[in-house]
Structure 1
Amino acid sequence: MDILLIAGLWLDGSAWDDVASALRARGHRPVPLTLPGQGDGSTSATLDDQVATVLDAVDAASGNPVVVGHSAACSLAWLAADARPDKVSQVVFIGGFPAADGTPYADFFELRDGAMPFPGWEPFEGPDSADLDEDARRTFAANAIPVPGAVATGVVRLTDERRFKVPVVVVCPEFTPAQAEEWISAGDVPELARAEHVEFVDIDSGHWPMHTKPAELARLIAAGTA
């Protein structure tokens, strides 16, 4: 099965190298995506450009692909389900949740010179980064790609309620399945409150399990594709 892999902010497709290798060993065809403005050299990319890249990959996939979104890119995966509800077989969210219609994609940190650079590790101290050693942190920060401002501040637009029928798996790294269910029940994640098929799975990692637990993450991604 084709499995599209969309990394979160500051990352390009290479973030999935170890996960992709493990998925191939399980007989799947992983397709790591490098998004416009996050690894292709563009600095003027928009959220619409990133959505178009994801939809092109969905359309090019063999059969009905699984679409995996990490962190902020959970919204991109959900936008794919919204635009292609009959094509996407499943959505997997890792360490994040989809933004609601009409809300900004990822305006989490200050823009500088038209882009949102990696803000350093202070905002991620605690469970997010506890499993990253100093070398891993230095490598991540050195390779982090500033996110174009028009991506970060782009507005999410969802239009097709058939997206709620697409099965969802929420992989819970720095938070627990119980916490995720509580947030949804409290109304903090309105999109998943309306989704008809939601499964929660735990992984003992920080916010970037593709770096620290790639084999386990690949197993969880593949588990729902049989």
Structure 2
Amino acid sequence: MTDYMLVAGAWLGAWAWDEVATGLRARGHEAHAVTLSGLAEKRGLPTGQRTHVQDIVDEIERLDLTDVVLVGHSYSGVPVGQAAERIGDRLRRVVYVDSNLPADGVSFLDGFPSDHIRAALAENDGVWPTLPPAGYANQGLTDEQIHRIVTEGTPQPGSTLTEPAVLERPPADLPATYVKCTLDGRPPLPAVDEALKGGRWELVELYTGHWPMFSTPRELAGILEEAGTRA
């Protein structure tokens, strides 16, 4: 049995992992999903990048999880990578699901061309609105899944995107699996390629769009289970 802590990306709460968590539990594992401050049922709470890191650490400590596989999707790869460093011996492995990676002193928005997001923040009182339905087209999602993401998603507070990460060592120093969703035809980020050279990371490709917890939950659960067997 392996303990999993699941953290969804921008706009999403713990609810985004429902099917993946069910799949992991059916395989005999413990699966826990955390909603980050300012989102979903925690909307309105004070938040920021560092708050999100602490949310993850606090939940792992509250549940007294050990030998944990810590999973971050998309945006949440940034706080997850920082939390992985802070939980010390409680960590078994990190799994980054089509996610950004943290770098010391670098914010989420600094990590890639993000002028369109900065413009959205300026136009929407410092929050990043959820995408319209068309933004989820060609991602392997059903109309019902898109409707759920759009209607249950909450705007992403800007402070979570602009505060810099704080790391004592690079993410490549910790054992990790990177899940690249390949439907977009793009290669992994340069930071992922660099991390893979260190020998403690593995790359797994999944032919689906950017939200595999909805489009291919069974396949994703299988990948997570396999990652949990890695030392």
Q: Secondary structure at the match of 1:5?
A: strand
Q: Secondary structure at the match of 1:30?
A: strand
Q: State how far apart, in whole Å, the 1-side matches of 2:11 and 2:25 are.
A: 25
Show the counterpart of 1:137.
146
**Structure 1 unmatched ranges of 5 or more:** none
Distance change >3 Å, CA 194–CA 52, structure 1 → 2: farther
Q: State how far apart, in whole Å, the 2-side matches of 1:106 and 1:17 are.
A: 28
Q: State how far apart, in whole Å, the 2-side matches of 1:50 and 1:175 are.
A: 29
Show the counterpart of 1:169.
177
Per-residue deviation, 1:172 = 1.4
Distance change >3 Å, CA 172–CA 193, structure 1 → 2: closer
Q: State how far apart, in whole Å, the 2-side matches of 1:146 and 1:61 are.
A: 31
Q: Deviations over 1:143-185 (max 9, x none)?
A: 2210112112111111145x533211011113689922xx43x
Structure 2 residue 218 is the aligned partner of structure 1 residue 209:
no
**Between 210-219 and 131-140, the greater mean CA deviation after superposition:** 131-140
Structure 2 residue 36 is the aligned partner of structure 1 residue 25:
no
**Between 145-154 and 115-124, the greater mean CA deviation after superposition:** 115-124
Show the counterpart of 2:127.
115
Q: Deviations over 1:99-147 (max 9, x none)?
A: 322111247411112211113255555xxx4312333223221222101
Aligned length: 217
Give the counterpart letter for 1:113 in structure 2: D
Q: State how far apart, in whole Å, the 2-side matches of 1:133 and 1:5 are.
A: 22
Q: Deviations over 1:58-100 (max 9, x none)?
A: 3233322110000111112211122234321100011123132
Per-residue deviation, 1:209 = 0.7
Give the counterpart letter for 2:50 in structure 1: D
Q: TM-score, normalised by structure 1?
A: 0.85
Q: Secondary structure at the match of 2:78?
A: helix
Q: TM-score, normalised by structure 2?
A: 0.83
Show the counterpart of 1:104.
107
Given candidates 69, 73, 76, the residue that maps to 1:66 is: 69
Q: State how far apart, in whole Å, the 1-side matches of 2:132 and 2:184 are.
A: 25
Q: Secondary structure at the match of 1:89?
A: strand
Per-residue deviation, 1:189 = 4.4
Q: How does 1:1-226 map to 2 (within 5 A)?
A: 1-39=2-40, 40-59=42-61, 60-106=63-109, 108=114, 109=117, 110-111=120-121, 112-121=124-133, 129-160=138-169, 163-174=171-182, 179-180=187-188, 183-184=189-190, 188-189=191-192, 192=195, 195-226=198-229
**Structure 2 unmatched ranges of 5 or more:** none
Q: Secondary structure at the match of 1:8?
A: coil
Distance change >3 Å, CA 142–CA 122, structure 1 → 2: same
Distance change >3 Å, CA 104–CA 124, structure 1 → 2: farther
Q: Deviations over 1:29-58 (max 9, x none)?
A: 111011101121225311111111111123
Percent identical among aligned pairs is: 28
